[in-house]
Structure 1
Amino acid sequence: MVVGGSFLTTPIGTEEILIREKLSEEHKQIFDSVVEFVEENIAPKSKELEKLNIELTVKLIREFSELGFGSIDIEEEYGGMEMDKISSMLVTEAIAHGRSASWAISFGAHVGIGTLPIAIFGNKEQKQKYLPKLATAEWIGAYCLTEPSSGSDALGAKTTATLSDDGKYYTLNGTKQFITNGGFADVFTVFAKINGEDFSCFIVERGFEGVSHGAEEVKMGLKGSSTTIVNLDNVKVPVENLLWKQGKGHQIAFNILNIGRIKLGIGNLGGCKAAINQALKYAKERKQFGQYISEFDMIKSKFADMVVMTYTLDSMAYNTVGKVHENIERIDKSDPNYQFKALESIEDYAIEASMLKVYGSEALGFMADTCIQILGGYGFTEEYPFAKMYRDTRVDRIFEGTNEINRQVIAGYYLKNTLMEKIPIREYVKIINAGLKSGQLPEIDCDILKEEKTTLEILKMAAIIVFNEAITVYGQGLKNEQMVLEDLANLFMCLYNLESVLLRITQKYEDKMDYKMDQVIGRLQTIETANQATGIIRRIIHGVGNKHDLPKLMEKYEKLRSYLTLSDNIYDLKRQITDYLYEKNQYPF
């Protein structure tokens, strides 16, 4: 059975992952087609779109949808393209080339959270009525979950749905907050509680009496996207517009979020690459103290950090997408419940989806901040793109569940899967303890990156030891220890990222691709990950171990740490990476 997060107890090199270098020609053509459209039609209009030009936003969504990209996740039977998840994610990444985060978020909300609930959970009649028009963007979709008093606590919603005496309709009352496309959407997926208890989902049309929206929010960023309150004042919704099942709205809300988290991380990847290229152009033209600022070591270090971070995000993004795609491919497409089963299969990788969302959003935030620093005073002006990028990207750490919530999801799923013995943490602890006692830990058998892979496996062992200790100390109560959970989530995430990087390099080596500079990135990322992970592990040991058996736990850790022998000149590694970037004159991977 497939279990998300199982990489932690699986020796590296035992599975093949998806890497962008091995995408099919068809996938590459899809990516190139999207890039061509957004560079020709979105980028030149980005300033106009930023003025909240709703007419232009909708016009471009419809033009893009005419090419089929508005229906990538919709079944052919209902006018869709029914592309695989790899294609869907490539479209999301490529949209970043349009240089309009506002338009990207408007389109993304429409085809994603605005359409997918109906595409996946709708019955045949609901799909026939709504999907063909959503596919062409004749109707625009929006997703109404958040409320003024319930953000992260989605199930705390106060919007009510009361069934009429004749059983023909529900009356909805409530207010939804921060609704993307709220000012112009035609169809809303609305969450409300039936009888004040059963959290459920409804399809609500703008034309229903009592539906209205408030003024546009004055936002820090994404100023060209519509974000409003949606008011529901005695809105009569036909009973046939109940989506999925009464009291099962959480299944829609949380599963759709998994897709949204993956797409957000992939979209961030496109933004990271664009940021590097734009900052590089400036650094190669700007002179200070008689030389181009790109020649200064501190600037080189910043570019190296951004390249490594982007390479890592790329690796873990397509590793995750590949796992999801492979899981979905196991499902019989003729199954009448295919769409729902496909969504369930995505939940199998909820851990990786949250990791991708967290790392992607924080990476792009780091890029925006670093690029402003590279440009100095000019970076702080609206003449260059990074002030806008800084504002636009900040919300990514709040969208699709805050990064704090997502870190709880990561650690929480690990705890759940361990207690249910889906991930064999306890069995692996026995193997580690036996290896430490005999002085013979399992060795990595490989042709490339032996030091790096050995480092990763030792770090995974140390992570397993401290995770098991936390479970021993707190039991199920660990779910309430948020500081420990945050550290565990960060620990698991940095190890997943490193594994994705090393597997990508290995596959390039095995397929006889050029991997020399990838290897430099892999070495630097391994050293940086070891520094990060050991710091987290020591913090957990001292935070948890002092409640149980600190000396014994420290002894195990020190024995494992003695195997961490990888070292190198980080400064030289960074210079090699930056020199390669300068030679290629753009993000080179």
Structure 2
Amino acid sequence: MVQASLSGPVHPLVRSILIPEAKTSEHQLIETTARSFVEERVLPHLPALEAHDDALLKALYREAGELGLAGVDVPEAYGGLELDALSVLLVTEALGEAGGFGVSFNIHSGVGTQPILFFGTEEQRRRYVPDLAAGVRIGAYALTEPNAGSDALSGRTRTRWDPAAGVFRLSGEKQWISNARVADVFIVFARLEGEGLTAFIVERGSPGLSVGPEERKMGIHASPTASLILDEVPVPEAGLLGAPGEGHRVALSVLNLARHKMAVYALGQSRRALRFAVRFAKERKQFGRPIAEFGLIREKLAEMFLRHAIAESMVYRTGGELDGDKKAIVADLSADGGAPPSSGTPLPEGVRPSEADRAAVVRRRAATLSQRIAACALNKVLATEAQGENVDEAVQIHGGYGYMAEYEVERLYRDARITRIFEGTNEINRLAAVRDLIGKDGAPKPWPSPETAAAAAGDRRPFADPALASAVREGAAVAEAVLYTGSARFSALFEAARRRFGPALPEAQAVVRRLADAQAALYALESTLARTVRAQAAGAGLPADAAGALLALAGAWASRTLRTNMDELERHLGASSAAPPPASGGEGTAPVDVIRAAETLADYVLSARL
């Protein structure tokens, strides 16, 4: 793996951040395998998949399983490849380019598999996970109901224990369930009498289980979507997932991972839109020359690349941090009667942990998976909104052709709209990010990182090594100034909001939205800054002039976002922040020439292999 050569006392995040530029030849081979599968096996068959060819869909799942793509982050003991975090991200992003199939696959390998892997018993993991990782069985996640969308935990599906039959009886309706038509294994949530929300594993073919008609959707037609109807469905005790009354912890903690996974999917779609836009701009001629030579088109391409790079930086950073959380749970699998893959010594057959022990396991693991709620929520917000903007601009660059169904950007446009809605609407994710920042004890968490919080208070460590090219150092200086002054100002305004609203702050949603957008800008800028500097120090990534332009433009973007939201907060709260609003070039730096920087970035985008 590429190692950055850093000589000075740089910001610690630069040394630790996970970046896509750190690919080795092995990573490239894994990524190429995933991309070849998408380009050669999935995309040519999308029309058939969108026409609901279930046999083909299942065959592609099995092919993906044979290649290991369905189990990249599943432990080897349960049939997976157990690859490193960078490999998992590269594969997930590549599969994100597979349109509706990518959505279906994302659900299967995420919320369709992870609840069993992380919260199931050893018997459940052995029974289901290897087949899911092999693509032999397809997974689905059934939480949403007709009256429980954003308020996901208010569902009315009920269950009771039937002592005569020795089973739970589940009754209710689940709505908009991805993979419902083809799934073999469903993760279903229901309210257990006297206990609360509880998770179950329900197999296809169970008596009383039926699937409604396929939904007629705007996009992602290759992703099956239907209702799941449960009429006194019997589920044996062995189908109880986790512990009675702990379903809300299972649901929300895996949704946290799903939000990050959706952000990675959105990166794939965002990159594909950019690739099509660049290709068309080079080929399409008007007024006697390629439209790629026109200033407005070039500026669009630079902005598309900037949005993608900012989102990619934060998504890979968070993915690296989440990897440690997931590994901690894999190491903890012995606590529920199983054994970590390295030991191979499960508890004696027939010996099961008590219900109280199982509940303790669920709580411990859910807490581990919930350490990065704000980061995962904001990953989902920024990445899906970058996807939406990039797809929209790709259509615009194509002009009238972009509106025609024979051009793929038309499908990208329809497919993109859903990502800002499912896995929690972006509005809900903004609320979740600020709510997490408040903390359970009422004490605010350092944001965007403890290091930056310290720097905002005066301990400012630089990101850029003095040995880097001047263009990189100049761009980094702009971004640093915005990050540090913006962090200080955000902290002051967040504290003013806490003083004014107290525990009711999450209910002041207009205030929360502006805080969340400022949060996202700070986290994204810090991630982009650390990623770009690390890559430059390793001699990887963009040419120095393009990297400097990227950093300057990222700083200018964050500055505009911060200034707009924090000026409005300051006026509403009647509070003065501790730091001045960052100028477009950042405090203490020359204003950024965004037109020249965009020109530099456009030159790179039009010459690069994206």
Q: Which TM-score applies when normalising by structure 2?
A: 0.86
Q: How far does residue 540 in structure 1 lie from its aligned partner after superposition?
A: 0.6
| Structure 1 equivalent of residue 273 of structure 2 | 275
Q: Structure 1 residue 305: deviation in Å?
A: 0.5
User: Where does residue 262 of structure 1 map in the other structure?
Assistant: 260
CA distance in 2, matches of 1:139, 1:332: 22
- Taking the aligned partners of 1:332 and 1:271, their CA distance within structure 2 comes to 31
| Structure 1 residue aligned with 2:39 | 39
Alpha-carbon separation, structure 2, partners of 1:165 and 1:417: 39
CA contact (8 A) 1:18 1:319 kept: yes
Q: Which amino acid aligns with 1:524?
A: L
Contact 1:279 1:371 in 2 (8 A): yes
- Alignment match, 2:587: 563
> For residue 4 of structure 1, what is the aligned residue in structure 2?
none
Q: Which amino acid aligns with 1:380?
A: Y
Indicate how the Cα distance of structure 1 residues 41 and 424 shifts in structure 2: closer, same or farther if over 3 A, else same: closer
1: CA distance between counterparts of 2:52 and 2:301?
33
Amino acid at match of 1:81: L
Alignment correspondent of 2:552 = 523
Q: Contact (CA 8 Å) 1:452, 1:566: kept in 2 or not?
A: no
CA contact (8 A) 2:481 2:582 kept: no
Kindly state the Cα deviation for residue 167 of structure 1 after the two structures are TM-superposed. Answer: 7.0
- 1:50 has 2:50 as partner: yes
Of residues 508, 511, 517, the one that matches 2:538 is 511
CA distance in 1, matches of 2:582, 2:209: 61
Q: Distance in 2 between matches of 1:74 and 1:14?
A: 28
Distance 1:323 1:416, change over 3 A: same
Give 1:443 deviation, angstroms: 4.6
CA distance in 1, matches of 2:39, 2:452: 52
SS at match of 2:133: helix
Cα distance in structure 1, aligned partners of 2:240 and 2:452: 48
Instruction: Note the aligned Cα RMSD (angstroms).
Output: 2.6
The answer as to whether partners of 2:64 and 2:135 remain within 8 angstroms in 1 is no
Which residue of structure 2 lines up, in the alignment, with residue 71 of structure 1? 71
Q: Which residue of 1 aligns with 2:435?
A: 412
For residues 281 and 289 of structure 2, the distance between their equivalents in structure 1, rounded to whole angstroms, comes to 10
SS of equivalent to 1:176? strand
Task: Confirm or deny: 8 A CA contact 2:14 2:534 kept in the other structure.
Answer: no
Summarize deviations over 1:94-144 as a string: whole Å, max 9, x none: 1134xx311111222222111111111110121222223222222211110
1:171 Cα offset (Å): 0.8
Q: Which residue is equivalent to 1:296? A: 294
Stretch moving more, 339-348 or 137-146: 339-348
Matches within 5 A, 1:303-452: 303-328=301-326, 333=331, 336-337=334-335, 344-416=367-439, 419-420=442-443, 422-423=445-446, 441-445=458-462, 446=464, 447=466, 448=473, 449-452=476-479
Displacement of 1:442 after TM fit?
Answer: 4.8
Aligned to 1:172: 170
Give the Cα–Cα distance (whole angstroms) in 1 for the partners of residues 43 and 36 of structure 2.
Answer: 10
Taking the aligned partners of 1:78 and 1:431, their CA distance within structure 2 comes to 43
Q: What's 1:102 paired with?
A: 100
Distance 2:320 2:179 in 1: 30
Alignment match of 1:544 (pick from 573, 582, 590):
573
For residue 430 of structure 1, report the CA deviation from its aligned partner: 12
The counterpart of 2:523, out of the listed 487, 490, 496, is 496
Q: What is the rounded CA distance, in whole Å, between the counterparts of 2:236 and 2:301 in structure 1?
A: 56
Paired position in structure 2 for 1:574: 598
Could you give the per-residue CA deviations for residues 392-429 of structure 1, whole angstroms, max 9, x where no partner exists?
1111011111111110111110111672465499x999
The farther-off stretch of 339-348 and 483-492 is 339-348
The code of the aligned residue for 1:32 comes to: T
Q: What residue number does 1:534 align with?
A: 563
Shift of 1:483: 0.8
* Contact residue 371 and residue 379 of structure 1 kept, 8 A: yes
Task: Return the offset for 1:197.
Answer: 5.6
Deviation at 1:326, TM superposition (A): 3.9
Give the secondary-structure state (helix, strand or coil) at the position aligned to 2:221: coil
- Cα-to-partner distance string for 1:354-401 (whole Å, 9 max, x where unaligned): 111111111111111111111111111102111211111111011111
- 2:496 corresponds to: 469
Segment drifting more, 563-572 vs 237-246? 563-572
Is the contact made by 2:201 and 2:239 (CA closer than 8 Å) also made in structure 1?
yes
Task: Work out the CA distance in 1 between the residues paired with 2:447 and 2:595.
Answer: 39
Secondary structure at the residue paired with 1:42? helix
Which of the residues 100, 111, 115 maps onto 1:113?
Answer: 111
Separation in 2, partners of 1:108, 1:393:
15
- 1: distance between equivalents of 2:550 and 2:329? 37
Kindly, what percent of the aligned residue pairs are identical?
33
Shift of 1:77: 2.5
One-letter code aligned to 2:121? N
Q: Structure 1 300/524 Cα, relative in aligned 2: closer, same or farther at 3 Å?
A: same
* Residue aligning to 1:5: none
Q: What is the one-letter code of the residue matched to 1:368?
A: V
In 2, the alpha carbon distance for the partners of 1:517 and 1:18 equals: 21
Supply the AA of the counterpart residue of 2:138: I
Q: Distance in 2 between matches of 1:516 and 1:302?
A: 19
Residue 229 of structure 1 pairs with residue 209 of structure 2 = no
Contact 1:260–1:400 under 8 Å retained in 2: yes
Distance across 2 between alignment mates of 1:308 and 1:466: 28
In 2, are the aligned partners of 1:198 and 1:246 still within 8 Å (CA)?
Answer: yes
For residues 237-252 of structure 1, what are the structure 2 equivalents within 5 Å? 237-252=235-250
Matched with 2:125 is 127
TM-aligned CA distance change 1:473 to 1:401, over 3 Å:
same
CA contact 2:94–2:268 (8 Å) conserved in 1: yes
Is 1:95–1:267's contact at 8 Å kept on the other side of the alignment? Answer: yes
C-alpha separation in 1, matches of 2:424 and 2:175 = 14
**Structure 1 stretch 134-143 or stretch 487-496: which is displaced more?**
134-143
TM-aligned CA deviation for residue 510 of structure 1: 2.5
Aligned-partner SS, 1:125: helix
Matched, 1:458 2:485: yes
- Checking the alignment, whether the CA contact within 8 Å between 1:272 and 1:310 is kept in structure 2 is yes
Q: Which moved more, 1:70-79 or 1:338-347?
A: 338-347
Further displaced range: 73-82 or 39-48 = 73-82
Inter-CA distance 31–345: structure 2 relative to 1 (3 Å threshold): farther
Question: 2:197 touches 2:244 (CA, 8 Å); kept in 1?
Answer: yes
Q: What amino acid is the match of 2:544?
A: Y
Query: 2:282 maps to which residue?
Result: 284
Q: Secondary structure at the match of 1:419?
A: coil
Distance in structure 2 (CA, Å) of the matches to 1:330 and 1:190: 25
Whether contact under 8 Å (2:514, 2:569) holds in the other structure is yes
Count of aligned residue pairs for this structure pair: 561
Distance of 1:536 and 1:424 partners within structure 2: 16
CA contact (8 A) 2:452 2:484 kept: no
Give the distance between the partners of 2:217 and 2:582, measured in 1 at CA: 49
Whole-angstrom distance in 2 between the partners of 1:430 and 1:142: 40
Corresponding position of 1:149: 147
Contact 1:12–1:453 under 8 Å retained in 2 = no
State the Cα distance separating 1:14 from its structure 2 match.
6.9
Matched, 1:161 2:167: no
Of residues 482, 485, 488, the one that matches 2:512 is: 485
The gaps in structure 1 that reach 5 residues or longer are: 1-9, 436-440
TM-fit CA distance, 1:75: 2.9
Q: Is the 8 A contact 2:437 2:445 kept in 1?
A: no
Using structure 1 for the length normalisation, give the TM-score: 0.89
Residue of structure 1 in register with 2:62 after alignment: 62
- 8 A Cα contact 1:134 1:141, kept in partner: yes
Q: Please say if residues 143 and 179 of structure 1, whose CA atoms lie closer than 8 Å, have aligned partners that are also in contact.
A: yes
